[in-house]
Chains A and B, each alone.
Chain A
């Protein structure tokens, strides 16, 4: 009796299986990625605008320029949510910085945004510039 040898499966089919499994696995891993929340920057911008508006309406910016003390600004910045960092600079129209207030526990960041608001103190125009960013690992 002759022994017959046959091919059980070919290299082609193995390669096809490998390619198929690789493509499906790659697709699944890509689709299961958590998408970055797109509204963070908008929320940060809104908080910045509100903060400067509130400081201006409460006359805190005016008092800071007139008294030279930024203590109240510092208290307000520390009352903001923990994950948000802020630096508020009070500037004259020639862009010279009169005061700078940093929220406690914040260091600089590459991804920040800036908002500004004009205010008047002692019949002179100034503007407040707030730089905001999220603390690392908070989003």
Chain B
């Protein structure tokens, strides 16, 4: 009986197995990396959208009700205050009207003219009402925090006149910053909002 020789494995097969395993592991790692990148991108998009929306409401509207500063600290919550705005209330005397005379139609409202009382009230209640601010402003994402700065032009630079909210931790990977410009006490004012996600781990 003739002996038959056969080949159980070759170097080619070993190389093929190694290559296959390498591709498999690399694919698994790529999937994980892509998912993490997409999650960070989605969070960033969410923060950007929220920051622009919140600043628009703060700077452009007087809030709802517009006289929300009349509420006491204990009544300042979502049941009575539906929206926080820093613009002067419509019922206030509008000195712009007197200044413009017949062209008042362009400035009849107090769009982008900030009310000092509202800003002071917001700053005064900050530590204890911070979470209420977040709920009313709509900063509701998981571990989302914010910092609102009112910086007033002094002729040569912007002075940080009011600061409401937390300070971003140095470990935070991204802080979204949005700026608007308005008038405050007749001065040019930069209203800056920073929003970030405080905890980026799987379990916080």
**Size of A's binding interface in residues, CB under 8 A:** 34
Chain B residues whose CB sits within 8 angstroms of the CB of A16 once the complex forms:
15-16, 19
* Residue A111, interface by CB 8 Å: no
Known: A46-B180, A58-B188. A20 touches B22 (CB 8 A): yes
* Residue A29, interface by CB 8 Å: no
Interface string of A46-87 (1 = CB under 8 A from B): 110011011011110000000000000000100101000000
Name the residue of chain B whose CB is nearest to the CB of A123: B102
Chain B residues whose CB sits within 8 angstroms of the CB of A58 once the complex forms:
183, 186, 188
Among B100, B103, B178, the one with the most A-chain Cβ atoms within 10 Å of its Cβ is B103
Please report whether the interface of chain B is mostly helix, strand, loop or mixed according to DSSP. Answer: helix
Contact A17 B19 (CB under 8 A): yes
Chain B residues whose CB sits within 8 angstroms of the CB of A81 once the complex forms:
179
Contact B11 A9 (CB under 8 A): yes
Chain B residues whose CB sits within 8 angstroms of the CB of A31 once the complex forms:
30, 33-34, 37
Chain A residues whose CB sits within 8 angstroms of the CB of B129 once the complex forms:
none
* Residue B181, interface by CB 8 Å: yes
* Residue A24, interface by CB 8 Å: yes
Chain A residues whose CB sits within 8 angstroms of the CB of B102 once the complex forms:
123
Q: In the complex, what distance in Å separates the CA atom of A13 from the CA atom of B181?
A: 64
Contact B188 A54 (CB under 8 A): yes
* Residue B70, interface by CB 8 Å: no
Chain A residues whose CB sits within 8 angstroms of the CB of B183 once the complex forms:
54, 57-58
Name the residue of chain A whose CB is nearest to the CB of B155: A75
Name the residue of chain A whose CB is nearest to the CB of B191: A50
Contact A59 B99 (CB under 8 A): yes
Q: In the complex, what distance in Å separates the CA atom of A54 from the CA atom of B180?
A: 10
- What are 19 contact pairs spanning A and B, CB under 8 A? A7-B11, A9-B12, A10-B12, A13-B15, A17-B15, A20-B19, A31-B37, A51-B181, A54-B188, A56-B107, A58-B188, A59-B100, A76-B188, A79-B153, A79-B157, A79-B158, A119-B106, A123-B102, A123-B103
**8 A-B pairs with least C-beta separation:** A120-B103, A50-B181, A13-B15, A9-B11, A8-B11, A13-B12, A54-B181, A39-B48
